[in-house]
């Protein structure tokens, strides 16, 4: 679970880059973070589900796939919207910071992940 979340975050940071002070960018970061949070929720529920409850397992797997599909669309839209800035280091740092801030609203973050996000947000 942690490795999947870390992979998603790394992909988001590498592919999307970053930028700050921009209310539109903050909104986009919040949308991406909300989608990532849905994915984390689905993974947590799947992890906690009774393995013998195949109907529940399928339901949760579908929820996870739906969150992944939503994230893919958001990333595609983000790349198209910010195609001129994605490779800009300043933009990448700003987006990463906004994404970290937005992820702190996710109630499904582990304590360790939350602490890491808080630590990585510049003061």
How far apart (Å, rounded) are the C-alpha atoms in residues 80 and 78?
Answer: 5
- What pLDDT band is residue 17 in, cutting at 50, 70 and 90? very low
Look up the domain containing 39 and give its range: 21-120
Mean per-residue pLDDT, 17-32: 77
Residue 8 has pLDDT above 80, yes or no: no
Separation in Å, CA 82 to CA 25, 42, 62: 9, 29, 30
Evaluate whether residue 34 is within a structural domain: yes
Evaluate whether residue 14 is within a structural domain: no
Evaluate whether residue 80 is within a structural domain: yes
Evaluate whether residue 13 is within a structural domain: no
Domain count, the chain: 1
């Amino acid at each position: 679970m942690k490795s999947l979340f870390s992979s998603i975050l790394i992909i988001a940071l590498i592919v999307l880059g970053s930028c700050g002070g921009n209310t539109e960018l903050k909104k986009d970061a919040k949308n991406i973070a909300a989608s990532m949070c849905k994915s984390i929720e689905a993974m947590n529920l799947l992890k906690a589900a009774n393995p013998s409850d195949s109907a529940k397992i399928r339901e949760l797997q579908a929820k996870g796939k739906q969150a992944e599909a939503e994230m893919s669309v958001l990333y595609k839209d983000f790349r198209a919207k910010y195609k001129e800035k994605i490779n800009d280091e300043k933009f990448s740092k700003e987006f990463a910071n906004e994404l970290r801030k937005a992820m702190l609203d996710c109630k499904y973050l582990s304590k360790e992940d939350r602490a890491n996000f808080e630590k990585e947000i510049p003061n």
